[in-house]
A and B are shown apart, each in its own frame.
Chain A
Amino acid sequence: MTAAPRVYGLLAEFETPAQIMAAATAVNTAGYRFWDCHTPFAVHGLDKAMGVKRTILPVLVFGAGLTGATIGFCLQAFTNAASFSIWALVWVAGYPFLISGKPLMSVPAWVPVIFELTILLAALSAAGLMLLLNGLPRLSHPLLANARFRRATDDRFYVVIEAKDPKFLRSKTEAFLKSLGAKHIEIVEDR
């Protein structure tokens, strides 16, 4: 195979979770930085073996939850207890809603809506930020154009070392992957 088009990286195929685990540990130890494992399911402990840092996602989601709670409180306090106007897309006025003799700031009655908005914002941000941090949606990717790679969502486990890695040297990296016991190695082109 000639490397006329740009080379995205090297794809090495493994057959079992145990093999990919060993390979990932070795690639990580060898000091590669731009590389990844592709597996049909989340292999338990593989992220640790790869040296993946724990994601910041929970902190962001906590922030989103707090935002939801704040919005829930302010929304109800303004629409049911305030007597001033604010600009929210249009000029809107609060309405001091007196009902069944309850105090205007009847916080206990607002708890359900505050709670639901907390959950809503936290859940939407958990899903949305996860995709965002993962760089998804991304419908076009060199790996998706590779026919062999289709089994990454079925029953094969892949190590991909990208060509942009400073330690990447096609012949040496290929020999290294072979030494890890890869069943098959091929170049992935970036067209």
Chain B
Amino acid sequence: MSSAPQLTSQSATKGYIDCDNTQQPTSGRVPLVLNMHSFGEVTHQVCRVAENKPPFAWYVAFVISLSMVGFLGVCVTYLIFTGVGVWGLNNPVMWAYDITNFVFWVGIGHAGTLISAILFLFRQKWRTGINRFAEAMTIFAVICAGLFPGIHVGRVWLAYWLFPIPNSMDMWPQFRSPLLWDVFAVGTYFTVSTVFWYVGMIPDLATLRDRAKGKFQQFAYGLAAIGWRGSMRHWHRYEVAYLLLAALATPLVLSVHSVVSFDFAVSQVPGWHTTIFPPYFVAGAIFSGFAMVVSLAVPARQLFGLKDLITLRHLDNMNKIILLTGCMVGYAYSMEFFIAWYSGAMYEKFAFVNRAFGQYWWAYWIMVSCNVITPQLFWFKAVRTSIPLMFILSIFVNVGMWFERFVIIVTSLANDFLPSSWGDFIPTWVDIGTMVGAFGLFGVLFLLFCRYLPMIAIAEVKSVMPEANPHAHHASPHTDHAPAAEGSR
């Protein structure tokens, strides 16, 4: 069913048809929405994704993801019924794929919050095209992340011991442990991200409610939109609340990966016990997260016809952030080596030489090639604006960042102080199955989100269109003195 987009007579004045918005214009602001003249068209463009049947590729992806989730279920059930021994980790490598995957997924989440909160505080208007699904990605990634510590505790049925719940054993968590800080950090991160996402989605859910044709859709979207009427008195408090949430989420996101890095940095293990970890982890998290956003945005905009809302400029900007954070990560790698040498601590020195040239040398060099060397191609605009190249490079970064966590965790544990207690880690099929299954879980959640929820923040995109400026659009002959271009990059 296609209800034609309502073309209003107003504002058919200057359209940004087919313009290359990766160029910096000589005057005015960069168009962030292409080929569209009216608010109604934006509404239609986004809502039809949720209203119409999805393309065939969606079903294919969904079935594949769902079968991966099925396999995840098998692996987790087998683990719970048998014990953590079904994984390849053993003394001395007590943390391996489980924590690698945990840190990987938490890191993925960080780009969503960076886009939704930090770019909001910096008034980066291009965030409006990508923030909704980046935030969704955050939430689903944190769900995948939460799975791993949840099942690696061994006796899963006692996982509630992580929380300070009054109990008849008079037993409390040990609050001086970074592992417990993690519970609070990741728990808060998940809760606040979900709230932020939902609050941002309320006006768009109301749009879907008001367009819904079927009884069930009207009821479901109506319930989810909790009676939003677009009242300006409501918008006033809403905008203040949104700003507050952004201001709270910004230090939160920086704290989360810092706390994750404390899991390592607070210990005495050579290769972990370094002060550079918190900023290094945060930069790496944003790096990997943006790569994941690009990996998702490229097929999604193609599949759902959203190229006019997620434009090349959005992708170009994200690739610039990948380049920047990739350089920061590369700096951290070299600084780790320098400090290992400069500290004069022989265990520290050995840990780093061993990373690059020990039995896991291949993991280390995959990490360096994918995270430091290939992203340098993003210095070239031709690469930053080439869809196939950016997709390939973003996959490289995802792979590289997974290996970064693997290198940090496994190489440090495998060869610590005493050669007599050294050991290797070899993954079992359950290790690999759980990792693959987590990607399936992420895929299922993300595909369902694309299918049923507004993928793009409709209200926010409208508010950054030139037509939304209440002072500019008088359709008088001399309209060109538009208000000063406020940070539209």
Interface residues of A (CB under 8 A from B): 15-18, 20-21, 24, 36-47, 50, 52, 54-55, 57-58, 61, 75-76, 79-80, 88-90, 92-95, 97, 99-100, 102, 106, 109-110, 112-113, 115-117, 119-120, 122-124, 126-127, 129-131, 133-134, 136-141, 143-144, 149-155
- Specify which of A16, A39, A116 is in contact with B232 (CB 8 Å cutoff): A39
B166, B206, B238, B469: the one contacting A134 at CB < 8 Å is: B238
Given A46-B470, A97-B172, CB of A41 within 8 Å of CB of B185: no
Check B463–A154 contact: CB distance below 8 A. no
Known: A16-B10, A18-B471, A92-B170. A116 touches B229 (CB 8 A): no
Residue in B38, B210, B236, B262 with the greatest tally of chain A CB atoms within 10 Å: B236
Which 9 pairs show the lowest CB-CB distances between chains A and B? A137-B226, A130-B241, A155-B39, A79-B172, A150-B210, A17-B470, A37-B232, A112-B181, A155-B40
Neighbouring A residues of B199 by C-beta, 8 Å? 127, 130
Given known A-B contacts A39-B232, A41-B459, A47-B235, A141 and B227 have beta carbons under 8 A apart: yes
Are A75 and B164 in touch, CB under 8 angstroms?
Answer: yes
A109 contacts across to B, CB distance below 8 A: 175-176
Chain B: minimal CB distance from A71 (Å)? 11
- A57-B244, A112-B181, A112-B262 known; A44 vs B469 contact (CB < 8 Å): yes
Indicate which residue in A42, A58, A106 contacts B238 across the interface (CB closer than 8 Å).
Answer: A42
Docked-complex contact B230 and A152, CB < 8 angstroms: yes
Indicate whether B385 reaches chain A with its CB closer than 8 angstroms. Answer: no
In contact, B175 and A90 (Cβ under 8 angstroms): no
On chain A, the residues within 8 Å of B170 by CB distance are 92-93, 95
* CB-CB nearest in chain A for B266: A109
Q: A-contacting residues of B (Cβ < 8 Å)? A: 6, 8, 10-11, 38-40, 43, 164, 166, 168, 170-176, 178, 180-181, 184-185, 187-188, 191-192, 195-196, 198-199, 203, 206-207, 209-211, 222-223, 226-241, 244-245, 248-249, 251-252, 255, 259, 262, 458-460, 462-463, 467-471, 473-474
Among B8, B38, B188, B233, the residue within 8 A (CB) of A52 is: B233
How far, in Å, is B404 (CB) from chain A's closest CB?
Answer: 23
Cβ B227 vs Cβ A138 within 8 A:
yes
Q: In the assembly, what is the distance between CA of A153 and CA of B471, in Å? A: 21
Would A126 and B232 count as touching, CB distance under 8 A? no
Q: Given the known A-B contacts A113-B180, A153-B206, are A80 and B174 also in contact in the complex, defined by CB atoms under 8 Å?
A: yes
Contacts of B11 in A (CB 8 A): 16
- Chain A residue contacts of B192, Cβ below 8 A: 119-120, 123-124
Contacting pair B468 A17 (CB below 8 A) = yes
The docked-state distance in angstroms from the alpha carbon of A133 to that of B185 is 29
Are A124's CB and B195's CB within 8 A? yes
